[in-house]
A and B are shown apart, each in its own frame.
Chain A
Amino acid sequence: MSVELTIDGTRVTGKKGQTILEVAQENRIHIPTLCHHSLLPTNGACRICVVDIGRKDRLEAACTTPITNDMKVETKSKRVLDARRLNLELLLSNHRADCVTCEQDGQCILQDLAYELELDLHKTAFKPQDIDKPVDDSSPAILYDPNMCVLCGRCISACNNIRHHNVLSYKNRGYDTLVIAGLGELFTDSDCVNCGECIQVCPTGALTEKPSRFMGRWKELEMTETTCPYCGVGCTLELYTKDNTIVKIKGKEDALENQGSLCVKGRFGYDWVNSPERLTTPLVRDDFGEFREATWDEALDLVAGKLAEVKDQYGARSIMGLASAKCTNEENYVFQKFFRACIGTNSVDHCARLCHAPTVAGLVKAFGSGAMTNSIQEMLDTDCFLVIGSNTTENHPVIAKYIRQAVLDRGAKLVVADPRKIGLVRDSSIWLRQRGGTDVALLNGLMNVIIEENLHDEAFIIERTENYEELKNTVEKYTPERVERITGVPADKLREAARMYAKADRASIIFSMGITQHTTGTDNVLSTANLAMLTGNVGKHGTGVNPLRGQNNVQGACDLGALPNVYSGYQSVEDPLIRRKFEEAWGAKLDERNGLTMVEAFNAVSRGDVQAMYIMGENPMVSEPDLTHVEESLKKLGFLVVQDLFLTETAQYADVVLPSCSFAEKNGTFTNTARRVQMVRKAVEPPGNSRLDWQILCEVATRMGYPLFYGSSAEIMKEIASVTPIYGGITHERLQKTGLQWPCPVFDHPGTQFLHRHKFSRGLGRFHGVEYKPAEELPDEDFPYMLTTGRLLQHFHTGTMTRRSKVLDTLVPECPIEINPADADSLGLADGDLVEVSSRRGTITGKTSVTDRSDLGTVFIPFHFAEAAANVLTNPALDPDSKIPELKVCAVRLRKP
């Protein structure tokens, strides 16, 4: 319904429910604001935007006052300007106007207002006072100067209403009001997770990035919009640089996926880009086995020559390539093309093998497409979440934001199934604490209750699926009581959770490595698909089976064929028609057999079947299970090329190390967990002589007799589109604004928000009857504890980047070994004590962290820390379908050293 009103004598039209400010902005009538922020609920606190609506007794805040018909608004009358100026003078009377050295200089709203309202600070009636409050510089990330604070409340709203961290609040009242963290303690002592959302919205210099202090002011900074290099959420970053150095990072506020939000890694973990430890020149082994610097020509010739030699001597299949979930789509495409067309083998894999290989395997079997079915934004409309095996608040913090918003703001239900008491448990309606490795039993139990109580979606099952009888017969045996015996989850809780999920209008399953990193990983994934199909929760907005991908471009690396069984776009290498298409496109004869997977390759090295390895941006010496075995394999290799940013744990075993470029130094695309292909843009020059990954690969290929040349990454994307139907309509030009979600087959296709809308990718969704199998290695007398591994909020993967970030490594400098208080007690361990953890494969030592996040008898160790590498302990036993190792469960013993 339209509303007509007059603003400053101009007749304007707005919609019912709009505020005066919104209508004014639409009509290009400027009303200054301070506390108002487009991403935050308005509180009308600062009273800068006051306008006259014809009331004698008061002015009204434009940001909170709804328009009415025939309203007459004055935005610039003397009365209005007087009130505005007074409020501004009052704010400045309690503000340390250190503009000369303030980080916010040039971007400060207070400064802008003072200029706009022509304030003369020397003539104001009020001299600044009470601006000696103690500054909180306790956090390595967030610098809080209360003397700059104008109490607009933005930070508190961001912390509480947007992120639901509930750390910031007000202390005292009246003039003594202060923004505080926690109960008024230092930021470091509070529960602050350093997401920096408060900094993002602070209009003054009260909350700033501590590492950016004196690194450069706004007017000196250049902005580059790009995609975050950490997890799979794919937050859009604004990278601010000065003199080829990243100074600070902000979240892009109108970005679809993150809406301005970032986590501590995305906002503060960038200094490794400019690290002096970066490789700047190729390294080759000298006669004494030591690294020496080499020219690109020498190194490239050596690599090309050696690979050709190995190929000649042992055949193409004796060369293994590890592509990278950290590299761009274009680079992964070139990598697999180089391996398939030039070297002549399908033995290309990457770390998806260690995270979501079962997702791809399982979801392809059930649905026909191995990716997150729905979109991140849809989570805001979900009515019930089943979060199983995903520590979302730490590993996908920005997705956790949307889950919390749905749950806490809209009353959506949240079922958390996790052996650990993860962050989301706090917000959950029901928490199912299943024993490690019992997910199939748990999911079968939920389905048993749903069928038993007739809560399944019969119409959906009949119309859209097949093989239902097999599922029904299987889950029949999983009564809640039996499931309780297997999983430890009380039968009644299981029933309650099943009802909650099944009765919801839109239910979404969110999972991650807690589901996949098992010898039953594919079974687990199939079970989540079964559950979703059983209740008709696929192919609809706000529902789905949503695996959260762990790395920035693990989705893209899979999409672009960095897998041993498929070309780009999941096109089977065994399909002769497809193979012929690629042979024509690439002008080479292609191998018709599937290649080796990552863990298989390391085993093949021991047997002598793999002689050379080319590793681009991966660090198996920390990420693989059973590192002792990996080390033996790397040593045994005839030739190892590592292409990376740093001399990683893996690179130290290389024969040739090639320095490549980080995300900040290149153009290209990443595909996020929700299949959104997004731009990566160059912000700084690469250090020294380091080169782009795809350029290095082209050089090697060309030197091996397969001329490979591209003018730019955009050109590579064109080739990708021409051979990859799901990327068929994707070009760099089309991605500039928000990116596109595949499948996007043609150039005018808008992308696909959620999959399987009217029919599954494979036609009918297929149920699979899946039986519970226990984990490969369970606690016993010798190794009585169950070890589970995972990630921390502050670190990423093998730590190559985050361990070199000052902020992140200061926040968590060493490996915490999480032990239940009762277990710690019986072992005589106190918080901070050194503890020795051993499995059948090795021993590491770390610091005890006593916490009830770990269940009784369970130990959690993050795998980021090379010096206490959890993967020394883990079990390399593989899931038969997807070949993922069982990183989530193995047996260990603990000892106080």
Chain B
Amino acid sequence: MNILRYRYVLQQETLPTSPSRDSVRTAVGETHSSSQIAVEQARELGLLGDNILGSSFSFDVDIARGGGAFVCGEETALMAAIEGKRAMPTTRPPFPSTKGLWGKPTAINNVETLAHVPKIIRDGPDKFAEVGSEKSKGTKVFCLTGAIQNSGAVEVPLGTALRTLVFDIGGGPYEGRSFKAVQTGGPSGGCLSEEHLDLALDYESLQAAGSIMGSGGVVVMDNTSCTVDVAKFFLGFTTAESCGQCTPCRVGLKRMHEILDRITRGEGKLEDLELLKYMSTGIIDSSLCALGRSAPNPVLTTIKYFEDEYLAHINEKRCPAGVCDALIKGYHVDSELCKSCGICVKECPVGAITQIEPDKKALINSDTCIKCGQCYTACPFNAIKEVW
């Protein structure tokens, strides 16, 4: 009897979907229970288990919960997690297809791949290959998100232009804002610029541009995003998600993150850009698994496509997008907008704001101000302005 088992692993999505600090984490518990129900229903209907529908074919599905770490998306780490071990990638060979889970030959497929299977079986491979680009066939689900009017999961033929995705489907940036960049492929993908809007979204083109298809994430950024900050954010994520096994990923990403951090604080040096590139090359070249080998992508692509923004941070100690808080020079009160409510005076932790008679407009003493920004967030009338 031919028994096939398929182990479906719920890999908790810890991918940040926008460069804001709130990364969305899906509720694995919910996914788990609904998947479990689906499997049980299929079994009740006789579609899973021994001798399916009276045939000699047996097939079953087990659901295992993944370790919940980003690195579990790497196949060897995923197998380690299923075996109850610490999820650390191992070197290949042996490849999972020869020696995988519990030492047995193992095929590892993404759910999305499996979702294509019924269609290919039903309509044939030719039909499937009708759509897509020359080398990348079929469709792909992108997770379109970020500073964009319509966000969500979008299935398009591979090879669709980035512009179509961002503007036609996504509706473009919010009103009053302008498109600036797009991060494709998740946190270890690349950050592409306006010049790539006509890029065909397929495996080859993305790779040529320094990015990857990866998880299919497409995070759109507008003019209020700072690409240095974005690179730091994504690198911060991969640094935290490194399994810690190999040197370049464990220590290298941390050191790169420190360099980016000092650039966003206005303490960067011009040599830092060369250093970042040198480190990126070494880390990509020598990391053990795909996590380390792709983690420097956001840094390399932002340096490549948004070098001016780096230079502004380094040379002028200025964040053109107005994102990097440490570079704020100070605050001033727009006396036109100030209603003399006194809230900012109460909020200021160092007593740097005073209200001057007779109109009691607030005034910030730049000598004592510590640039904490509490007045800025507290003012109900947007009367406090940042000075860059």
Contacts and interface: CB of A to CB of B under 8 A. Distances in A.
A44 B251 CA distance: 16
A159 B219 CA distance: 45
Given A50-B285, A64-B91, A173 B243 contact: yes
B311 interface: no
Contacts of B282: 82-83, 86-87
B86 interface: yes
Contact of A59 (B71, B90, B279, B286): B286
Contact of A91 (B71, B251, B254): B251
A151 B279 contact: no
Contact of A170 (B239, B244, B246, B288): B244
Listed residue (B86, B250, B279, B281) with the most chain A CB atoms within 10 angstroms of its CB? B250
A84 B286 CA distance: 8
Contact of A90 (B245, B247, B281): B247
Nearest to A94: B251
B275 interface: yes
A79 B278 CA distance: 11
B278 A86 contact: yes
B45 interface: no
Contact of A174 (B93, B247, B254): B254
A174 B240 contact: yes
A150 B244 CA distance: 11
B12 interface: no
A460 B239 CA distance: 64
Contacts of A84: 286
Contact of A83 (B69, B86, B286): B286
Interface string A517-540: 000000000000000000000000
Interface string B240-262: 11111111101111110000000
B317 interface: no
Contact of B244 (A47, A59, A66, A175): A175
Contacts of A689: none
A91 B246 CA distance: 10
B293 interface: yes
B17 interface: no
A150 B250 CA distance: 11
A177 interface: yes
B285 A172 contact: no
Listed residue (A125, A150, A172) with the most chain B CB atoms within 10 angstroms of its CB? A125
A781 interface: no
Nearest to A177: B244
Nearest to A84: B286
Listed residue (A44, A61, A90) with the most chain B CB atoms within 10 angstroms of its CB? A90
Interface in A39-89: 42-48, 50, 57-59, 61, 64-66, 79, 82-84, 86-87
Contacts of B243: 173-174, 177
Given A61-B288, A173-B242, A175-B244, A90 B293 contact: no
A169 interface: yes
Listed residue (A46, A86, A125) with the most chain B CB atoms within 10 angstroms of its CB? A86
A126 interface: yes
Given A64-B91, A93-B255, A172-B244, A83 B250 contact: no
B364 interface: no
Interface residues of A, number: 38
B9 interface: no
A58 B91 CA distance: 13
B147 interface: no
B255 A126 contact: yes
Contacts of A90: 247-248, 251-252, 255
A47 B89 CA distance: 14
Contacts of B231: none
A146 interface: no
Contact of A45 (B247, B252, B283): B247
Contacts of A177: 243-245, 250
Contacts of A151: 244-245, 247, 250
B225 interface: no
B293 A57 contact: yes
B286 A50 contact: yes
A150 B252 CA distance: 13
Contact of B242 (A57, A58, A169, A174): A174
A733 interface: no
A83 B275 contact: no
A451 to B, nearest CB: 37
B242 A175 contact: yes
A151 B93 CA distance: 23
Given A91-B247, A173-B244, A43 B285 contact: no
B284 interface: yes
A125 B275 contact: yes
B251 to A, nearest CB: 4
B247 A47 contact: yes
B245 A86 contact: no
A53 B91 CA distance: 16
Listed residue (B88, B282, B286) with the most chain A CB atoms within 10 angstroms of its CB? B286
Contacts of B297: none
A827 B252 CA distance: 61
Nearest to B257: A175
A98 B158 CA distance: 56
A853 B320 CA distance: 70
A61 B285 CA distance: 10
A458 B278 CA distance: 72
B96 to A, nearest CB: 15
B249 to A, nearest CB: 8
A203 to B, nearest CB: 13
B18 interface: no
Contact of B245 (A45, A66, A91): A45
A87 B247 contact: yes
A176 interface: yes
A42 B94 CA distance: 13
A143 B135 CA distance: 57
B179 to A, nearest CB: 30
Contacts of B254: 174-175
A251 interface: no
A759 B253 CA distance: 66
Nearest to B293: A58
Given A59-B286, A91-B247, A173-B241, A44 B255 contact: no
Given A90-B255, A173-B241, A174-B254, A44 B246 contact: yes
A84 B253 CA distance: 16
A751 interface: no
Listed residue (A57, A61, A64, A174) with the most chain B CB atoms within 10 angstroms of its CB? A174
A408 to B, nearest CB: 13
Contacts of A64: 91
B183 interface: no
B287 interface: yes
A153 interface: yes
Interface string B264-297: 0000000000010011011111111000010000
Nearest to A66: B93
Contacts of B241: 173-174
Interface string A172-195: 111111000000000000000000
Nearest to B274: A125
A831 to B, nearest CB: 32
A174 B252 CA distance: 10
A90 B239 CA distance: 14
Contacts of B242: 173-175
Nearest to B247: A87
Interface string A373-386: 00000000000000
13 contacts: A44-B91, A47-B286, A86-B248, A87-B252, A125-B255, A125-B275, A170-B86, A172-B244, A173-B244, A174-B240, A174-B244, A174-B254, A175-B253
Given A48-B247, A153-B245, 4 more contacts: A59-B286, A83-B285, A175-B244, A177-B244
* Nearest 4 CB-CB pairings of A with B: A177-B244, A86-B282, A174-B242, A90-B251
Interface of B: 69, 71, 86, 88, 90-91, 93, 239-248, 250-255, 275, 278-279, 281-288, 293
